Amino acid sequence: MRAVLSLGSNLADRWSLLRGVAEEFRGEIVAASPVYSTPPWGVTDQGEFLNAVLIVDVESTPLELLRRGQRLEDAAERVRERRWGPRTLDVDVVAVDDGGELTSDDPVLTLPHPFAHQRAFVLVPWLAADPAATLGGVPVADLLARLDPAEVAGIVEAGTL
């Protein structure tokens, strides 16, 4: 199963936390985006994020992949005080392909991620990792072109994992 993971952090040692996720998936990574410095989205009274995307091939179900990401978040001592608030680590399963793009309305894991198409901090790294990527049959490049150019311009490459 191939999956797109969106990684983010704006607390603690952000670089180390993102690199820890990459290390967890070492051997399963098909592609990795650069790391981007991004302004907060949704709740803006917080620090800048570092965001990246990993494309992985894993031998698990989507729910098992979600739980694996949640274990990494727990190990980073993530606290969920506010929706879209600051966090040590966020590992989101954005999309899953198992011979075709999987969809799910399950409230535990909605696929594809319900906000991915609206978030430059997901789309910019995803496009960098996979220029031919699609979401719901729409090229990620087209989804990105629909966003506010000022939001897209705020996504700045900061380094590599």
Name the catalytic one among 67, 78, 83, 148: 78
Residue 92 is among the residues annotated as catalytic for this protein: yes
Give me the number of domains the chain comprises.
Answer: 1
Distance CA 134, CA 70 (A): 25
Q: Which tens digit of pLDDT belongs to each residue from 9-34? A: 999 999 999 999 999 999 999 999 99
Name the catalytic one among 2, 67, 74, 92: 92
Q: Report which of 116, 105, 124 is spatially closest to residue 34, judged by C-alpha positions.
A: 124
The DSSP bridge partners found for residue 2 are 57, 97
CB 56 within 8 A of CB 73: no
DSSP state letter for 104: B
- Domain extent, residue 154, equals 2-159
**φ, ψ of residue 116 in degrees (nearest 5):** -55, -40
Residue 90 is among the residues annotated as catalytic for this protein: yes
CATH number of 41's domain = 3.30.70.560
Residue 71 is among the residues annotated as catalytic for this protein: no
Residue 142 is among the residues annotated as catalytic for this protein: no
Largest separation between any pair of C-alpha atoms in the chain: 41
Per-residue pLDDT of the chain (161 residues; tens, 9 = 90+): 999 999 999 999 999 999 999 999 999 999 999 999 999 988 888 999 999 999 999 999 999 999 999 999 999 998 877 787 799 999 999 999 998 999 999 999 999 999 999 999 999 999 999 999 999 999 999 999 999 999 999 999 999 99
pTM of full prediction above 0.85 = yes
